Chains A and B, each alone.
Chain A
Amino acid sequence: MNSQPEKGELCVIIGAGPAGLTAAYELARLGMRSVVLEKDFCVGGISRTINHSGYRCDIGGHRFFTKVHFIRELWEELMGEDFLLRPRLSRIYYKNRFFDYPLRIRNTLKGLGLVESFLMGLSYIRARLRPEREEKTFEQWVSNRFGRRLFRTFFKSYTEKVWGMSCSEISADWARQRIKNLDFIAAARNALVGAKTHGNKLVTSLIEQFHYPRLGSGMMWERLQEKLAEKQIETRLNQEVIKVHHAGGRVTAVTARDGQGREIRIRGEYFISSMPLRDLINAMDPQPPRDVGNAADSLCYRDFITVMLVVDTPAIFPDNWIYVHSPEVKVGRIQNFKNWSSEMVPDPSKTSLGLEYFAQEGDELWNMSDDRLIDLARSEWTRLGFATVGKVIDGTVIRMPKAYPVYDSKHKDSLEVVRNWIGTLKNLYPVGRNGQHRYNNMDHSMASAICAARAVHGAKIDIWDVGVEKAYLEEAEAEGEVEREKMITAKVIRDTFANYDALAMGTALGLMAAIVLFLMSIILILKGGDPIGPTLLLLSNYFPGFRMTLIGIVIGTLQAGGWAFFFGLLLAHSINLVIGIIKNMLLRQIEIVRTMEDGD
Chain B
Amino acid sequence: MAEKDRIDLEWKMLDRAVARLRAGVMAVVFGLSAACALFGATVWLLIKGSENIGPHLNLLGNFFPGYKVTWPGAFIGFAYAFVSGAVIAWGIAWIYNFVVHFRLKKRANRKNFLPGGK
Contact = CB atoms under 8 A, between A and B. Distances in A.
Interface of A: 181-185, 465, 467-469, 490, 493-495, 497-501, 503-505, 507-509, 511-512, 515-516, 520, 523-524, 527, 533, 535
Which range holds the interface residue count of chain B?
Answer: 20 to 34
Given A500-B19, A501-B103, A504-B103, A490 B10 contact: yes
Contact of B17 (A467, A498, A535): A498
B45 interface: no
Contact of A507 (B19, B59, B63, B95): B95
A520 B96 CA distance: 22
Nearest to A524: B62
**A interface majority secondary structure:** helix
B71 interface: no
B100 interface: yes
Given A181-B3, A507-B96, A495 B17 contact: yes
B11 interface: yes
A498 B2 CA distance: 25
Given A465-B2, A494-B17, A533-B62, A182 B93 contact: no
B99 A499 contact: no
B56 interface: yes
19 contacts: A182-B7, A183-B10, A184-B11, A184-B14, A465-B2, A467-B2, A467-B3, A469-B2, A493-B14, A499-B17, A500-B18, A501-B19, A505-B96, A507-B99, A508-B21, A508-B91, A508-B92, A509-B92, A512-B92
A-B pairs, 3 with minimum CB distance: A504-B99, A498-B17, A508-B96
A52 B100 CA distance: 68
A511 B14 CA distance: 29
Contacts of A183: 7, 10
B18 A501 contact: yes
B4 interface: yes
B88 interface: yes
Nearest to A188: B14
Interface string B1-41: 01110010011011001111100000000000000000000
Nearest to B102: A504
Given A495-B19, A505-B96, A511-B95, A523 B3 contact: no
Interface of B: 2-4, 7, 10-11, 13-14, 17-21, 56, 59, 62-63, 88, 91-97, 99-100, 103
Contact of B88 (A182, A500, A507, A516): A516
Contacts of B4: 181, 467
A504 B100 contact: yes
A504 B106 CA distance: 14
A416 to B, nearest CB: 16
B84 to A, nearest CB: 9
Contacts of A516: 88
Given A181-B4, A512-B88, A533-B62, A499 B56 contact: no
Contacts of B96: 501, 504-505, 507-508
A490 B7 CA distance: 11
A357 to B, nearest CB: 33
Given A183-B7, A515-B91, A503 B17 contact: no
Given A469-B2, A509-B92, A185 B59 contact: no
A181 B10 CA distance: 10
Contacts of A523: 62-63
Given A494-B14, A495-B17, A508 B103 contact: no
Contacts of A533: 62
Given A497-B17, A500-B18, A508 B93 contact: yes
A515 B94 CA distance: 14
| Centre residue among A490, A512, A535 by max chain B CB count within 10 A | A512
Contacts of B18: 498-501
Given A184-B11, A535-B59, A498 B19 contact: yes
Contacts of A508: 21, 91-96, 99
A99 B14 CA distance: 32
A503 B3 contact: no
Most buried by A among B4, B18, B19, B62: B19
A508 B103 CA distance: 14
Contacts of A524: 62
Contacts of B13: 494
Contacts of B91: 508, 511-512, 515
Given A467-B3, A504-B103, A499 B19 contact: yes
